[in-house]
Copies of this chain bind each other. A is one copy, B any other.
Amino acid sequence: MYPPLVLVLAIFFAVATAIAALSSPLPHPLDPLSPTELTEVRSAVLAFSLVASRPISFHYVGLDEPEKPDVLSHTNAAAAAILPRRAFVIARAGGLSHEFYVDVTNTSAPRVVSHGIHDGPGFPMFTTEEQVAAGQLSREYPPFRESLQRRGLALTNVGCGVFSMGWFGKNEARRLAKVQCFIVAGGTANYYARPLEGVTLLVDVEKLVIVAYRDRAAYSVPKAEGTDYRAGKAGPPFNGAVPAPGVVVQPEGKGFHIDDHIVRWANWEFHVGFDMRAGTVISMASVHDADADLWRRVLYRGFASEIFVPYMDPEEEWYFHTFMDAGEYGLGVSAVPLQPEADYPANAAYMDGYYVDADGKPVKSENIICVFERYAGDIAWRHTGVAGPIAPITEVRPDVTLVVRMVVTVGNYDYTLDWEFKTVGSIKTVVSLSGILEMKATNYTHVDQIRDDIHGTLIAENTVGVYHDHFITYHLDLDIDGTKNSFIKNTIIPKRNTGIRATGGAPTPRSYWTVLYEVAETEADGQVNINGAPADLLFVNPSKKTKVGNEVGYRLIPAGATATSLLANNDYPQRRASYTKKQVSGLYAEQSTGDDNLAAWSKRNRRIKDEDIVLWYTVGLHHVPCQEDFPVMPMISGAFELRPFNFFERNPLIRTRPPGNSPNCSCSFGRSG
């Protein structure tokens, strides 16, 4: 990612409107903090007498969720009211990272119930305000002005942004960051396409001073022409393909109901939360088992925990581009208002989210989560009995999917993060990438001139789309039909027929495969590179069995984008994100060192058999850019699915009534059937 860009001279930075506190009704225990609550959290922290340093800068405020057993035993509103409402806060004051737990159960008497100082490496997310301020530091800096002058550029033509500097072995006490700049002249909105290559500032984002400056080399600035992506600038002519307009009409209205943060649809019920770091949080997703007439929990909590994006250019201005978008910039903070009938179809509903600014005041993000039913022409199940005693028979059940979508724009990249719920019982998580590539200015204008490794693709004149990876890691607290689950690796192993029935063979000339059932006893057992030996990965509840005795479970099915990191194990970016060769990042990702990530936690190697286990799954893509990614990238996607595996006694949709026009529908029933 590139950070949001700040003009050197004029600030046009768009900060969402700070809003006044509103009163709200009785919340669900997992509801995000309301504006009222956020306001009270701020008051409590500012009033906390043990932290006297000023200013206090708020970097994170989020719900401190009650413990799982408490939430599970307080699902109705009346019962929930007795659970405390608490916030977890990370704030900077006096050069330290403070952690507060604030009780806002009684909003008229908020109080700090716990305070600590984070003393490990790493820092909280950048605030928007400090990014804006740090981006402007260069404007009064004489060496920077000289660099511009040497290149014939005016100060008004340049904008700068704050780049996290990663971690390369040195634990800094200061919150340092790099600042790099772009040419904003030429009338294009796509300044990312026009880097001021070769110039880097090192700044203290807290003290707002320049610590180091480097003007290593000058490169041609790519031209502005052909880079703009705004409709009115890219065309006319508007000669791109436009399919016929189409609108989904739902004659009986929407099939889902949103009750505050609870979504109910078909055989699903779940809670949709919002967090300024993680964005969308799906909790308590339960599926209805029609045969048993029971709601059965599948996922207690799921969210995108980190997006690690290392670039593959070792050059001085590029090597530190090893971003952790959630921990450094915040996925929730970076979520953008969705565009109706473009980001989602007309039959959608949407939700807002609240986070806090650096001053701790609530900020409303409108229309950042949408919920819609997807009518894609898919089929849930079908069979045509082409022959036999009762032929011909055709039974088909069309499929509809419920989508919960957020778009996170972290500087240049736009991530579409979808949670899909399927009537068959599946939860599918899809990540789609669009937006603008990180581009490097080069003097090359044609491939024939290139003799060395340019660490990317020449995607336009003077423009290299730099090689990089995307690793999107999900935190999935699975509760397959209850809290205690086990992780099963069903490895598919080749066998040679022995020919002897007594040893499990048969007198036939065959090789075949069978399934080796292995329970992961510890966290180390639970680490899997899915590109290795073929295996079905299951999460089961060993205390719940089907009638014929199978453990009830769900299967993890990767659907593309299964790349794992190719960085050296002892390389610094890889040490921070070591879970990308298997799987989670810690809380303090900015300048984090990997000491608190999942790979480190897993070394404790806790028992995970029949426990409350969490799956961290990483969707990974190696991205070799191509010219089609310029000036803005078409979507590419990766996904994975959690699908029932012996969870139901049988196909849960077998008793679904067919569409009204089914030829076999001699079983007269109405819409309510």
Residues from chain B with a CB closer than 8 A to the CB of A239 are 290-291, 293, 655
Q: Would you call A647 and B628 a contact (CB within 8 A)?
A: yes
Residues from chain B with a CB closer than 8 A to the CB of A597 are none
Residues from chain B with a CB closer than 8 A to the CB of A614 are none
Q: Which of B573, B665, B673 contacts A510 (CB 8 A)?
A: B573
Q: Which A residues, 557 to 614, have Cβ-Cβ distances below 8 Å to chain B? A: 557-560, 563, 566-568, 571-574
Bitwise interface map of A from 624 to 659 toward B, beta carbon under 8 Å scored 1, else 0: 101111111111000000001111111111111111
Given contacts A244-B250, A381-B635, 19 further A-B contacts (CB under 8 A): A231-B665, A235-B657, A241-B652, A243-B255, A243-B265, A243-B373, A249-B249, A312-B513, A320-B508, A336-B386, A337-B394, A379-B416, A382-B434, A461-B548, A555-B626, A626-B645, A628-B644, A628-B651, A631-B651
Q: Which A residues, 370 to 387, have Cβ-Cβ distances below 8 Å to chain B? A: 372-387
Q: Would you call B656 and A238 a contact (CB within 8 A)?
A: yes
With contacts A235-B655, A399-B635, A627-B646 taken as known, whether A189 is within 8 angstroms of B393 at the C-beta atoms is: yes
Residues from chain B with a CB closer than 8 A to the CB of A226 are 650
Q: Which A residues, 159 to 174, have Cβ-Cβ distances below 8 Å to chain B? A: 159, 161, 168-169
**Mind listing 10 A-B residue pairs with CB under 8 Å?**
A239-B290, A342-B382, A343-B379, A383-B436, A424-B635, A447-B549, A467-B512, A467-B513, A555-B626, A628-B650
Q: Does A425 contact B (CB under 8 A)?
A: yes
With contacts A231-B395, A244-B373, A396-B343 taken as known, whether A12 is within 8 angstroms of B388 at the C-beta atoms is: yes
Q: Does A453 contact B (CB under 8 A)?
A: yes
Q: Would you call B423 and A241 a contact (CB within 8 A)?
A: yes
Q: How large is the interface on A (under 10, 10 to 19, 20 to 34, 35 or more residues)?
A: 35 or more
Q: Which A residues, 395 to 427, have Cβ-Cβ distances below 8 Å to chain B? A: 395-400, 402-403, 405, 407, 409, 411, 414, 416, 423-425
Q: Would you call A628 and B389 a contact (CB within 8 A)?
A: no
Q: How far is the CA of A669 from the CA of B490 in the complex (A)?
A: 57
Residues from chain B with a CB closer than 8 A to the CB of A334 are 386
Q: Would you call B657 and A622 a contact (CB within 8 A)?
A: no
Q: Which A residues, 319 to 378, have Cβ-Cβ distances below 8 Å to chain B? A: 319-320, 334, 336-337, 339-345, 347-348, 372-378
Q: Shortest CB–CB separation between residue A539 and chain B, in angstroms?
A: 13
Residues from chain B with a CB closer than 8 A to the CB of A394 are 336-337, 339
With contacts A334-B386, A559-B559 taken as known, whether A566 is within 8 angstroms of B654 at the C-beta atoms is: no
Q: How far is the CA of A631 from the CA of B655 in the complex (A)?
A: 11
Bitwise interface map of A from 537 to 558 toward B, beta carbon under 8 Å scored 1, else 0: 0000000011111100001011
Bitwise interface map of A from 227 to 264 toward B, beta carbon under 8 Å scored 1, else 0: 00111101111111111111111111111000000000
Q: Would you call B392 and A14 a contact (CB within 8 A)?
A: yes
Q: Does A527 contact B (CB under 8 A)?
A: no
With contacts A5-B387, A382-B343, A572-B509 taken as known, whether A290 is within 8 angstroms of B240 at the C-beta atoms is: yes
Q: Which of B381, B531, B550, B665 contacts A457 (CB 8 A)?
A: B550
With contacts A4-B386, A191-B389 taken as known, whether A492 is within 8 angstroms of B380 at the C-beta atoms is: no
Q: Would you call A378 and B635 a contact (CB within 8 A)?
A: yes
Q: Would you call A248 and B250 a contact (CB within 8 A)?
A: no
Which of A68-76, A86-94, A115-123, A499-507 interfaces with chain B?
A: A499-507
Q: Would you call B510 and A12 a contact (CB within 8 A)?
A: no
Q: Shortest CB–CB separation between residue A26 and chain B, in angstroms?
A: 29
Q: Does A137 contact B (CB under 8 A)?
A: no
Q: Shortest CB–CB separation between residue A508 and chain B, in angstroms?
A: 4
Residues from chain B with a CB closer than 8 A to the CB of A49 are none
With contacts A246-B373, A266-B241, A655-B239 taken as known, whether A387 is within 8 angstroms of B4 at the C-beta atoms is: yes
Q: Would you call B246 and A247 a contact (CB within 8 A)?
A: no
Q: Would you call B496 and A423 a contact (CB within 8 A)?
A: no
